[in-house]
Structure 1
Amino acid sequence: MVHSARIFLVSVVALLWTTLANAASLPDFKELVKETSPAVVNISTVQSAASADDQNPLGQFRGPNGEEIPEIFRHFFQMPEMDKGPRRRSPQSLGSGFIISGDGYILTNHHVVDGADKVIVRLNDRRELEAEVVGSDKRADIALLKIDAEDLPTVKLGNSDKIEVGEWVLAIGSPFGFDYSVTAGIVSAKERALANETYVPFIQTDVAINPGNSGGPLFNLDGEVVGVNSQIYTRSGGFMGLSFAIPIDVAMEVANQLKEKGFVTRGWLGVIIQEVNKDLAESFGLDKPAGALVAKVLPDSPAQAAGLQEGDVILKFNNMPVILSSDLPHQVGRVKPGAKAKVSVMRGGERRNVWVTIGELPTEQELANAGSSKKERDQSNPLNLVVSELDDNRKSKWNLSNGVVVRRVMQGPGADAGLMVGDVITMLNREQIESVADFEEAARNLPDDRAVPMRIVRRGSPLFIPLKLSSK
């Protein structure tokens, strides 16, 4: 009996010791939060009714394919008063930010302040001050604000290049308007590429991020900011363990340019690239799938001037390895225009170095124009599409005799009908489409406010879709 009691006592002590040891190994965030939270701010904006209607209330919170969150979920992401009564110009809590200098400079996301008529910053001491938007950069989703104040508490800036996968990180922000909410997790991955976000190597975490956290700081255990919380991926409309932050090194490069000149310049190579899979790697003489395959060299680009060729596989840029094709854009983007860069490529089974004088990244519209022919750029039609003549490859592959290929889909009736790049339009309003000229004529003659049939071939399968123009 005594022996059994001793065994029981030893087991209890061992269990308590294990529990205490595990607890001791977990981080204690209390002091970190006390020290850093005074430099975190809440950001509200005032918009006119018209501009508010044009904004997506979810900002950058979207699904895994870049789609908007369905309407059914939107009430989860709005403050209660936003859906009640007539529209009015009143502040709406949209995000967070943090103070980077004692004289009032604040960092946040571009999408938090985009389209705002007035930006209101609420400090830790409950003061509310109107902020000036010094500059904002859509490509990096970074905005720099300035408030008229002195001797403000500031954050300590860390080095996002030094963070490691698996280390603890902490976020402070205003999810759903609840100020100074703290959530913690670990770094899940580094240099993550996201669709339509070419110039940011995101930090992926499992820190709980929700609408209102946007623009807030991501801290390491030393109390240093290593990232700016920006996005989540979700299938349900809520947080699902995938959140993404802009590395602070990238954010501060943007912020410094915004402060100095009000806009951001980035390096530009001038190539269209694709991923290298196993079969492509073997065909190009590579030991493993790696690098960025040059599918096209844009005319009048730095790449063309330097002699880069279609079929080159870029393996290194300025001695930094290019493992995935998505690594290249943000490496190039961080180089100052006019600087020389060494590009290591595989060409014809041999490795060689090419020196390129990096250019300045054109605007999105200029890039779009550079990738299309003059004939395509000159097109104007009620469907707001860019189409081209049917190519021989699609004719033989899908057994087609007529049609035009959709090259670009812009906002308008074509997009509303569900047209996609690569679709072949063979019939419009019961008229056979033989050429671009036929398509443009048929499009000009479409009736208003009445659905007409459009026959398309998508990935080899024919189908009819309804198309309707609004009143002119």
Structure 2
Amino acid sequence: MVQTKWRILVKLSQAQFVEKEMTDNHERRPEPRKHSNLGRVAALGFGLIGVLIALAVATGRGASGAPNPPAHNSSVQLDEPSQVRATQSTTPAEQPLVDTDDLPTVDKLSRAFAAVASKLEPAVVNIFTEGTERARRPPSGTPLDDFFERFFRDQPEGQRRRSLGSGVIVDPRGYVITNNHVIENADEIEVRFSDQTRYQAEVIGTDPATDLAVLRIDADRTFAYVDFGSSENTMVGEWVLAMGNPFGFGHTVTAGIVSAKGRLIGQGSYDNFIQTDAAINPGNSGGPLVNMRGEIIGINSNIISSSGGNMGIGFAIPSDMTRKIYDQLVSVGKVTRGWLGVSIQNLTPDLARSFGLSGQKGAVISEILEPNGPAAKAGLEAGDIIVELNGVSIESNNHLVHIVADVRPDETVPVKFYRDGELRTTDVTMALRTIDANLTPEPPTQDRGRLGISGQNLSDELATELGASSAAGVVLMDIDQDGPGEDAGLRRGDIIIEANRQPVRNVDDLQRLIGEVPAGGDLLLRIERIVSGQQSSFLWIPVRLE
């Protein structure tokens, strides 16, 4: 009715405009003015009568409940309580931004959630572990705390440690995918189903670099399992379900959407997380993130929280990466990756401009790590900008790390790069990446030696990871509380490069020089200490040995 009145008012305005134009034209005619005035009065009178009649008709139809003509505007009409449909905009040629006519009702969406949760429930397991954890120093407040956080847990040495997590069966033979940190250092692993059935499980393989692990249930039977979906084809905004064992409450399902993809959260070289607002809490680690087809698109792994609980920001390892790791762990028990032998950084707009390039995609080689490494043998140099490897366009330095890792060691692939503004091509034969193994701490020992430390050789890869300038030495990975090293002021991450004025190239050198010091004698150490970022300081530290 309101729309009808509005159209009448528009018509009235148009009638007045036409009447005025007719009046103006009439005034220009050489007829007496009295005829013109009489015509205007008559036209105005008939117009008002027409308006009153139209309003009366429109009001009567509105009051009688008869349907009014549809309005052509951008309003939202509710056809049913459970459906929302956006009408077309002002012109017939324009289409709505989103066609919502075929969207499911709330009831249908609810039933879809329930169907996926019911289908996957037999294949999602709770994982309980028990093991012995070794000690580590409390955080020392240095820039390397985040780096060493990957290696140690806050548990006293010799104490039994119990943990809980989640997992998902991906093979009817009982293969389970979970997070490495769920089963790390576990002596016993128990897998518990939603019906409270329990089984022991063994570790098939782990990959700390991606925080993934594969278990096998010790049982002579087949199991329900879940298929992998494509994380690459998953879109931001899709509905997802997170399943697992939060806080040990048992089988739990939460819903949300994919908030973002390709997130870098500082967990390592292979950061590429799916972000979701589906509730993920402690205990959900290792459980699946699934789409509405009941397929795994991620393995829940991390949360960002100031309270320890869900704050709507959770992260899952993409299923495409998980599937590659799973296949290698099941087939050979370990993960192998290609290594190019370069240190790289992102191509920023400023760098691109300085190199005479207009694009911003690619990775800049900042350093050739080994003179006989794959990159050096292929003729690559510092300052080259890699834009394609093995037929894949490189988006960023992180992307290049992933593409290189997917290449098998000893496989030769083409590389496209810019040098001095010229696009060039070469072939590179990948080597075996060993940095991930180097970053894995040595097995804990009860005897840390007279210095009270555990360390490992400073490799080129580890030096790059730490930002160290020393070419050789021993990196302190852990320090005994109240030991001679800690009393003297040594810290995790310190690099011992000299002992009693003699060079320390490796662990053997350090042990030999310590053995030459008599009981109660002093050991004069020269160390490199990472201060911040790529900056270091060099210190002399005397240690009294027992």
TM-score by length of 1: 0.70
- Equivalent in the alignment of 1:141: 211
3-state SS of paired residue (2:397): coil
In structure 2, relative to structure 1, the CA distance for the partners of 1:19 and 1:269 (3 Å cut) is farther
Q: 1:458: how far off?
A: 5.6
Looking at structure 2, the residues matched to 151 and 331 of structure 1 have their Cα atoms a distance apart, in angstroms, of: 36
On the 8 A contact 1:233/1:243 being kept in 2, the answer is yes
- Equivalent in the alignment of 2:181: 111
Looking at structure 2, the residues matched to 457 and 333 of structure 1 have their Cα atoms a distance apart, in angstroms, of: 28
Is 1:130 the equivalent of 2:200? Answer: yes
On the 8 A contact 1:66/1:195 being kept in 2, the answer is no
3-state SS of paired residue (1:308): coil
- Equivalent in the alignment of 2:478: 411
Per-residue CA distance 1:161-185 (angstroms, 9 max, x = gap): 2111221111100011111111121
Is 1:297 the equivalent of 2:368? Answer: yes
Q: 1:44: how far off?
A: 0.5
- Equivalent in the alignment of 1:263: 334
My pick for the range that moved more, 158-167 or 14-23, is 14-23
Per-residue CA distance 1:276-302 (angstroms, 9 max, x = gap): 222111111221333211111121221
- Equivalent in the alignment of 1:402: none
Looking at structure 2, the residues matched to 131 and 116 of structure 1 have their Cα atoms a distance apart, in angstroms, of: 11
Per-residue CA distance 1:283-335 (angstroms, 9 max, x = gap): 11221333211111121221111111111111122232222211111111112
Is 1:209 the equivalent of 2:271? Answer: no
Is 1:27 the equivalent of 2:109? Answer: yes
Is 1:52 the equivalent of 2:133? Answer: yes
Looking at structure 2, the residues matched to 93 and 384 of structure 1 have their Cα atoms a distance apart, in angstroms, of: 26
CA RMSD of aligned residues (A): 4.9
Q: 1:120: how far off?
A: 0.5
Q: Which amino acid aligns with 2:133?
A: A
Question: Sequence identity, in percent?
Answer: 37
On the 8 A contact 1:291/1:315 being kept in 2, the answer is yes
Per-residue CA distance 1:345-373 (angstroms, 9 max, x = gap): 111111112211122111446589xxxxx
In structure 2, relative to structure 1, the CA distance for the partners of 1:104 and 1:133 (3 Å cut) is same
Aligned match of 2:348 in 263, 277, 281?
277
TM-score by length of 2: 0.62
Q: 1:35: how far off?
A: 0.8
Aligned match of 1:174 in 241, 245, 266?
245
Q: 1:248: how far off?
A: 1.6
1:51-450 alignment, distance < 5 Å = 51-52=132-133, 54=135, 92-147=162-217, 148-299=219-370, 300-364=372-436, 410-412=477-479
Looking at structure 2, the residues matched to 88 and 164 of structure 1 have their Cα atoms a distance apart, in angstroms, of: 43
Looking at structure 1, the residues matched to 376 and 238 of structure 2 have their Cα atoms a distance apart, in angstroms, of: 42
Q: 1:108: how far off?
A: 0.9
- Equivalent in the alignment of 2:90: none
On the 8 A contact 1:42/1:93 being kept in 2, the answer is no
On the 8 A contact 2:477/2:493 being kept in 1, the answer is no
Looking at structure 1, the residues matched to 530 and 210 of structure 2 have their Cα atoms a distance apart, in angstroms, of: 37
Q: Which amino acid aligns with 2:419?
A: R
Looking at structure 2, the residues matched to 416 and 313 of structure 1 have their Cα atoms a distance apart, in angstroms, of: 45
Looking at structure 1, the residues matched to 310 and 284 of structure 2 have their Cα atoms a distance apart, in angstroms, of: 12
3-state SS of paired residue (2:426): strand
In structure 2, relative to structure 1, the CA distance for the partners of 1:217 and 1:149 (3 Å cut) is farther
Looking at structure 2, the residues matched to 187 and 152 of structure 1 have their Cα atoms a distance apart, in angstroms, of: 29
Looking at structure 1, the residues matched to 125 and 404 of structure 2 have their Cα atoms a distance apart, in angstroms, of: 33
Looking at structure 2, the residues matched to 17 and 55 of structure 1 have their Cα atoms a distance apart, in angstroms, of: 63
3-state SS of paired residue (2:205): strand
3-state SS of paired residue (1:107): strand
Looking at structure 1, the residues matched to 64 and 486 of structure 2 have their Cα atoms a distance apart, in angstroms, of: 80
- Equivalent in the alignment of 1:401: none
In structure 2, relative to structure 1, the CA distance for the partners of 1:87 and 1:193 (3 Å cut) is closer
In structure 2, relative to structure 1, the CA distance for the partners of 1:18 and 1:279 (3 Å cut) is farther
3-state SS of paired residue (1:143): strand
Structure with more relative contact order (C-alpha pairs < 8 Å, separation 6 or more): 1
On the 8 A contact 2:409/2:432 being kept in 1, the answer is yes
On the 8 A contact 1:183/1:207 being kept in 2, the answer is yes
- Equivalent in the alignment of 2:42: none
Q: 1:153: how far off?
A: 0.8
Looking at structure 2, the residues matched to 415 and 242 of structure 1 have their Cα atoms a distance apart, in angstroms, of: 41
Number of equivalent positions: 404
Looking at structure 2, the residues matched to 267 and 461 of structure 1 have their Cα atoms a distance apart, in angstroms, of: 29
Radius of gyration: which is bigger?
Answer: 2
Looking at structure 2, the residues matched to 308 and 336 of structure 1 have their Cα atoms a distance apart, in angstroms, of: 20
